[in-house]
Structure 1
Amino acid sequence: MKRRKGQFDFKQFSIKQECSAMKVGTDGVLLGAWTNVTGSKTVLDIGTGTGLIALMIAQRNPVASIHAIEIDQASAAEALTNVSHSPWADRVKVFHESIQDFSAHATHAYDLIVSNPPFFNSGTASPSANRHQARHTGQLPQKDLIQTVAGLLSDQGRFSVIIPVTESDNFISMAADYGLHPCHITTFFPKAHKPSERHLIEFTRTEGPAREDRLVQYLEHGEWTEGYKNLTRDFHIKL
C-alpha cells in the first residue's frame, strides 16, 4: 500500500480515511488477507470502518456478496465512498447501523462473518468520541458480538476475528458457550523477539483441535518477513 494524505492506496483499490474513526492499520490488513474466503458466497463484515476488510475480501473472492456494517455515521459514509470507487461496488453494500439492529432484520445466514472489533474493555478513554466508540467495547460488548455471530452464521460457516492476546482466552471461552469453536489460530508478532500482540482466530460450529501457527511481521533490521509479504502480496503496492 502507499500512503497519501487522508488516503491509502492498495494495488486494486484506495481507502479514503479523512473522517473515519479508525484508520487503516496492521490489524485490518492482517485480517483481510488472512481470512479464509474459500467457497463463501455471502459475507458479513461487522464494524467495517473505512470498508478496508470488505474490499480486501471482495478482491480475494470474485463471487461473494458482502454486507458491511458500521455504527459510526462518518465512517459508514466514507466506507460507502470507498466501495463506490472500487471495482466491486456491485457486490459490497454498506449499512449504517449497529450489528444488534441489523441482526433483527437480517434475512439470511452468512457463509463467512469477519470482524476487527473494538477490544479495549478498560483503560483511558480516547479524547475523540467516535474513536473511543471504535476502540472500546461499550457499543459492541464481546458477548453481543458472539451472540449475533452465532445467530447469523450458516451451519457450515466460518467466523474470523482479530483480538489482543490478552483477550483471546476469554473470547474463546465465551464463544464456546454459543457453539462456536476455534479451528485455526495464528499468533502474530511484530518482531520475533517481541511479545505476541494479536491472535487471528477462525471459528466454526464444529468442535475439535485447532490448527495453530505464528506470523512475524518484521525482521530485526526492519524489513518485512517473507511470511508477511506472502500473506499481503496481493495488496501492498511495493510488493
Structure 2
Amino acid sequence: MEPLTRDHFFDGRIILNQPESGYRFSIDAVILSHLVSPAPGETVLDLGTGCGVIPIMLAFRHPDIRVIGVEIQSSLSRLARQNVADNRLTHRIRTIEKDIGKLLLSDIGGPVDRVVTNPPYRKLDSGRINADSQRAVARHELKTDLETVLQTARRMLRKAGRFSIIYPSVRSVDLLAMMRSTGIEPKSLTMIHSKPASPARLVAVTGVKGGRPGLEVGPPLELYHEDGSYTRTLQAMFSG
C-alpha cells in the first residue's frame, strides 16, 4: 500500500489521509465545499470524490445532509471510505466505486438535490500527462470529460436540482456553453483570484436543471493578500 500522510483541517476536527506521492486534493476542492450551501435534508452527489474531501467537509459544515461520493479509482475510493470512517461519518456519507459515465439512478437511490464536482480539466492534448497514473486520471480527461460529467449530473438531479462546479477560468466559455446545451442553466458565477491584482485562475459556477436564463455574477473571490497572507475568506475555508 502506498504511504499516506495524515492531515488535519478545521482546527484538527477533520482528519484526511492522502497518498504521500500520488494524487493529493488541491485548494479547488476546499473552495467548492465552502461555496456550496445545501439546505437541511438535502442529498448531495460528488462526482469524482477522490479521497472524499468534499463530502467530508460538506457533511461537517451541514449536519443535516447526506452525501454520496463517486470515484472510479479503487485506491482512492478505498481511501475515501477510510477517511469517512475515521471522521465518524459513515451514517451520512456513502462512497461508490464506479465510472461516472455508467452511474445509474439505482446506484444512488434516486434523484438527488445537488451535484458537486471538481473534475479533471486538462484536455489530453494540453501538455505532458503526469507519469503517476493516479494523478493523471484525477487531472486529465482520461477516464471522463466535461460533457460526461454534465450529462451524468443532469441524469442524477431532480427537477430544478442544482449543479456546482469549480473549473479553470480559461475554459469558462466551454463550461457555460456545455451546461446550457446539457439542460443545466448557469445561474451564478464567481471568479476566483489568487491575489487582488492577479487574473482569475478559477471559476465557480452553479446551474439549475431546467432553469430559466439569467446569470448572476457575484463579487470576485480573492484568496491571498498581496503579501501572500491568507484573506479572511480563505482562513474561514480552513477553519470550518
The TM-score normalised by the length of structure 1 is 0.90
The residue that corresponds to 1:215 in the other structure is 221
Q: Give the Cα–Cα distance (whole angstroms) in 1 for the partners of residues 22 and 150 of structure 2.
A: 23
The residue that corresponds to 1:200 in the other structure is 204
Q: Give the Cα–Cα distance (whole angstroms) in 1 for the partners of residues 116 and 22 of structure 2.
A: 19
Q: Give the Cα–Cα distance (whole angstroms) in 1 for the partners of residues 64 and 121 of structure 2.
A: 31
- Secondary structure at the counterpart of residue 161 of structure 2: strand
Within-5 A mapping of 1:49-198: 49-103=50-104, 105-106=106-107, 107-121=109-123, 122-198=126-202
RMSD of the alignment, in Å? 1.7
The residue that corresponds to 1:24 in the other structure is 25
How far has the Cα of 1:162 moved from its partner? 0.4
1:100-147 per-residue CA deviation (whole Å, 9 max, x = no partner) reads 222264340010100000000122110111211110112111111111
> Given the superposition, is the C-alpha separation of residues 39 and 207 from structure 1 closer, same or farther in structure 2, using an over 3 Å criterion?
farther
> Given the superposition, is the C-alpha separation of residues 40 and 21 from structure 1 closer, same or farther in structure 2, using an over 3 Å criterion?
farther
1:168-212 per-residue CA deviation (whole Å, 9 max, x = no partner) reads 211110111121111111100011122110001111121232221
What is the percent sequence identity of the aligned residues? 25
> Given the superposition, is the C-alpha separation of residues 48 and 157 from structure 1 closer, same or farther in structure 2, using an over 3 Å criterion?
same
The residue that corresponds to 2:37 in the other structure is 36
Q: Give the Cα–Cα distance (whole angstroms) in 2 for the partners of residues 211 and 226 of structure 1.
A: 23
1:222 aligned partner, one-letter code: G
Q: Give the Cα–Cα distance (whole angstroms) in 2 for the partners of residues 21 and 90 of structure 1.
A: 28
How far has the Cα of 1:19 moved from its partner? 6.3
- The total of aligned residue pairs comes to 230
Contact 2:105–2:111 (CA<8 Å) still a contact in 1? no
- Secondary structure at the counterpart of residue 171 of structure 2: helix
- Secondary structure at the counterpart of residue 104 of structure 2: helix
How far has the Cα of 1:226 moved from its partner? 2.3
Matched, 1:10 2:14: no
2:8 aligned partner, one-letter code: D
How far has the Cα of 1:21 moved from its partner? 4.4
Alignment gaps of 5+ in structure 2: none
2:169 aligned partner, one-letter code: V
1:211-237 per-residue CA deviation (whole Å, 9 max, x = no partner) reads 21210100011111123334x1543xx
Alignment gaps of 5+ in structure 1: none
> Given the superposition, is the C-alpha separation of residues 20 and 103 from structure 1 closer, same or farther in structure 2, using an over 3 Å criterion?
farther
Matched, 1:48 2:52: no
